[in-house]
Amino acid sequence: MALLLHIETSTAVCSVGLGKDGELLALKETKEGMKHASHLTVFIENILKENGFSTSDLDGIAISMGPGSYTGLRIGVSTAKGICYGAELPLIAISTLQAMTKPLLANENIQSQLKNPEKAYYCPMIDARRMEVYTAFYNDKNELKKDISADIIDENSYAKELSEREIVFFGDGAAKCKEIIESKNGIFLDNVTPTATGMIELAEAKFQKQEFEDVAYFEPFYLKDFVATTPKKNIFK
């Protein structure tokens, strides 16, 4: 049984959750965009204070490890590491895509749309610009069935899998795929974003198994190397 702080900054959502024994106690989040540097530490301070805790009361820190935004992941991981060092707490890493999938598995509205829920795959998609997405397949037990990858989507994407089963697509990357992937077995969900809520049970399970990261050497799962872009207008020219 543990009191864990959960940090999710892999996309434009900045989300902080407080969980105890695998249950959500409190949540603070914003979808204002990439403003994690200004929101994250404030959310952490406030969520602890409002619930009568300090970092010394925590048993561990759970971080959403990616894939996702390079900058967002760096901010989240750096903050988590700082707390772990200062309070001598273990660090727990949770797959962003798996955490996105977790809340959907118990959602009755979603389950009612499926003809064969036990056979269906869940496909979280994080926008990676243009027609590329970070994605994977999970089954109804939230087990990984297709490795996490960066996929370029076209009309033939996942044709074999869609011919065999229903696939639930969700996340900000799924919206741009909706008009391209045409299959009666493709189910698209709107407004599903990464949130600390999906991390709670996964982090508790890892804590009980003592599956901790090396705080000194842990790095986010970027999936792709960071590529700096050049502004269209260079004011120094």
Q: What is the pLDDT of residues 149-195, one digit of tens each?
A: 999 999 999 999 999 999 999 999 998 889 899 999 999 999 999 99
Integer Cα distance of 197 and 112 in angstroms: 22
The pLDDT assigned to 120 comes to 97
Q: With 70 as the cut, is the pLDDT of residue 227 above it?
A: no
Task: Tell me the pLDDT tens digit for each residue of 66-110.
Answer: 999 999 999 999 999 999 999 999 999 999 999 999 999 989 999
CATH second-level architecture of 98-188? 2-Layer Sandwich (3.30)
DSSP E strands, 105-222: 121-127, 132-138, 144-152, 167-170, 186-188
Common-topology check for domains 3-95+194-208 and 98-188: yes
CATH second-level architecture of 3-95+194-208? 2-Layer Sandwich (3.30)
Per mean pLDDT, which range of 12-16, 26-30, 129-133 is the poorest? 129-133
The pLDDT assigned to 34 comes to 80
- If phi > 0 it is left, if psi is from -120 to 50 it is alpha, else beta; for residue 68 that is left
- Is residue 37 very low, low, confident or very high in pLDDT (cuts 50, 70, 90)? very high
Domain boundaries, the chain: 3-95+194-208, 98-188
The pLDDT assigned to 228 comes to 46
